[in-house]
A and B are shown apart, each in its own frame.
Chain A
Amino acid sequence: GAVVSQHPSWVICKSGTSVKIECRSLDFQATTMFWYRQFPKQSLMLMATSNEGSKATYEQGVEKDKFLINHASLTLSTLTVTSAHPEDSSFYICSAILAGLILEETQYFGPGTRLLVL
């Protein structure tokens, strides 16, 4: 089946540094990928929609200069948390849709990346 990986699975960084999280579709091409964040005991909140070769579309309230998204190929999207602060500590999850099947509505999710900013 369709597999999505994320790297790293967890990361600890100092306040003020930047952190890059990768999301890869391993056995399929994904024209569209999504980034979510999840706080403890809260639901997944959609941050942005990432389309290959174009700028990401951010949800209301998500700072695009803070959370930089790049979708340079059909199998890779990256999320960079710039100048991270403790309030950015969270669980970040990506998902992908099979290219050409956008109406299928099935998203394939990565296992998530836990970020802790000290």
Chain B
Amino acid sequence: GNSVTQMEGPVTLSEEAFLTINCTYTATGYPSLFWYVQYPGEGLQLLLKATKADDKGSNKGFEATYRKETTSFHLEKGSVQVSDSAVYFCALSRSGAGSYQLTFGKGTKLSVIP
């Protein structure tokens, strides 16, 4: 079955540091890949997505590239801010009919200190 593995947290960085959160997946077919972010007290929000191999999703300075050869979708940001402190979830959709159903990783908590 489908599964998503992302790096264990928590991750603590100083402001303006470089961020990488690793995500690898196992899936049949050609899933779409997502990063969701959950700020304290709020629901999950879509951060970025990629729907096919070599696609790069980007938003708010965050980027992730769909690497089929390594089955990865690592999240990166060149310079984090305190406001980026949140929990980040990597996810994939089942391919084919009903592709809106998501499989999530466990989440990685990021804390950015001034």
Q: Which residues of A contact B (CB under 8 A)?
A: 4, 32, 34, 41-46, 49, 93, 95, 97, 102-103, 105-112
Contact = CB atoms under 8 A, between A and B. Distances in A.
A97 B68 CA distance: 27
Contacts of A45: 104
B102 A110 contact: no
B100 A43 contact: no
Contacts, number: 52
9 contacts: A43-B103, A43-B106, A44-B89, A44-B104, A45-B104, A105-B49, A105-B99, A107-B44, A109-B36
A79 to B, nearest CB: 15
A88 to B, nearest CB: 20
A42 B8 CA distance: 11
Contacts of A49: 98, 101
A97 B43 contact: no
B44 A46 contact: no
Contacts of A46: 101-103
Given A93-B44, A95-B44, A112-B43, A107 B102 contact: yes
Q: Quick one: which of A45, A107, A109 has the most chain B CB within 10 A?
A: A107
Given A43-B4, A43-B107, A111 B42 contact: yes
A109 B107 CA distance: 15
A108 B42 CA distance: 11
B46 interface: yes
A92 to B, nearest CB: 12
Contacts of A95: 43-44
A109 B87 CA distance: 14
